[in-house]
Structure 1
Amino acid sequence: MSRQPLLDQLESYLCRYPAEGPTIHRFVDFVKAEPGCFERTTPSGHITGSAWIVAPDGRGVLLTHHRKLDCWLQLGGHADGDPDVVAVAHKEAQEESGMEEFEQVVPGIFDLDIHPIPARKGEPEHLHYDVRYLLRPLGSTVYTVSEESHDLRWVDVDEVASLTTEASMLRMVAKHREVLGL
């Protein structure tokens, strides 16, 4: 399985966001060093793909109240062996929202984050190397709450901070405003 497409995306992301260099270099080092980087069975951590889904008017974002982590987040999940991380983000967006089709609003990676996932049920604490893409639904914006969520909600970008103080979520809000000119 080829890691080069993701490495190319990470290089392009570094050119756009040089201030995030330390995180990007950790990503690159992990992808290059870990043959199982796309497999959830890799005990130290693995690649995940996420979708920051914006409303057609650009003002809102679809967030999930994650069942296992009990907090508001963007939609996303494990690559499960798929090195096409943007396809993973699209698949997770479809599965977790019930919406059928999305377009990528900006080419390439929208955001990156490396965060710990707590140990549970025989699974040790590990890291998620989360690659995030900016998507917009094509067609209906009516969503269905999946079994992975307590709730889904369209949230005005100005109100995200009332649901979370998590740094990467607030960073995506800032990028959302920048990219969409809000």
Structure 2
Amino acid sequence: MTHGELQALFEAYVPWNEQERNDRELALQAFRSFDDLLTRENTILHLCASPWIISRDHRQVLLVYHRLYDSWGWSGGHCDGDGVLWRVAKREGMEESGITSLALADERPIGIDVLSVPRHHKNGALVSAHLHLNVTYLFYGDPALSLSHKADEVKGARWFDVEAIPRIVKEKAMLPVYAKLCERARTL
């Protein structure tokens, strides 16, 4: 998708709650201000995509243990020039968890979030604090499939009961995001 098509995606997105209304407005402001959101050349904000991977019965969610955040959480990553956001989400989910098959539930996103990323080191270089404009898509996965993980980014991948999310996620600021995604998934 082009810059204009991506902006149109955000314009057409119907926010789920107040947080999404605010984040959608920030996203539209970013599209009006920057033309390099698809790459990491923009040091302020990067466009990213995540899969919310659940079992077809909606009882389990596939999470990875992030080294950066020292917590279980969703998969996801930078677009790195790819404007097909659901494809980025699928790629990131498969790379980070090792799952070999994911089924896209809908090409429309189920969530948009502006997330802060703390200053950190990656490949020996300092990465300044910045924002991720994250778009989430719903995918179905099979908990019977074997998992592996991308060891340089995550420490593991595992299926959890949805009810376990508040107990296992250390990033408390992410709990409302994950609750929203579970709710959105149930409405599809």
Give the TM-score taking structure 2 as reference length.
Answer: 0.85
Quote the residue 2:150 is aligned against. Answer: 146
Q: Which digits, 9 at most, give the CA deviation of each residue in 1:78-120, with x for residues without a partner?
A: 1111111111101111111222332222441111211221123
Structure 2 counterpart of 1:35, which letter? D
Residue in structure 2 matched with residue 128 of structure 1 by the alignment: 132
Partner SS for 1:179: helix
Name the residue aligned to 2:63: 63
Q: 1:27: which partner in 2? A: 27
| SS, match of residue 127 in structure 2 | coil
Residue aligning to 1:161: 166
Query: What is the percentage of aligned positions where both structures have the same residue?
Result: 26
Alignment of 1:15-94 (within 5 A): 16-17=15-16, 19=18, 20-94=20-94
Residues 169 and 159 of structure 1, relative CA distance in 2, 3 Å threshold: same
Tell me, in whole angstroms, the C-alpha distance in 2 between the residues paired with 1:96 and 1:78.
13
Tell me how far 1:73 sits from its aligned partner: 1.2
Deviations 1:22-77 (A, max 9, x none): 11110111123211101112111211111110013210101111012212210011
Aligned-partner Cα distance in 2 for 1:142–1:8:
38
Structure 1 residues 166-177: aligned runs within 5 Å: 166-177=172-183
**CA-atom RMSD in angstroms:** 2.2
TM-score for both structures, normalised by structure 1: 0.87
Q: Given the superposition, is the C-alpha separation of residues 90 and 33 from structure 1 closer, same or farther in structure 2, using an over 3 Å criterion?
A: same
Distance 2:186 2:105 in 1: 9
Distance 1:11 1:45 in 2: 18
Aligned length: 180
Distance (whole Å) between structure 2 residues aligned to residue 88 and residue 178 of structure 1: 20
Q: Separation in 1 of the partners of 2:184 and 2:78?
A: 28
**Residue type matched to 2:166 in 1?**
A
Contact 1:55 1:141 in 2 (8 A): no
Contact 2:2 2:83 in 1 (8 A): yes
In structure 2, the CA distance between the partners of 1:13 and 1:166, relative to structure 1 (3 Å rule), is: farther
8 Å CA contact 1:75, 1:93 repeated in 2: yes
Secondary structure of 1:101's partner? coil
Q: Which amino acid aligns with 1:3?
A: H
Gapped runs of 5+ residues in structure 2?
none
Question: How far 1:139 moved relative to its partner?
Answer: 9.1
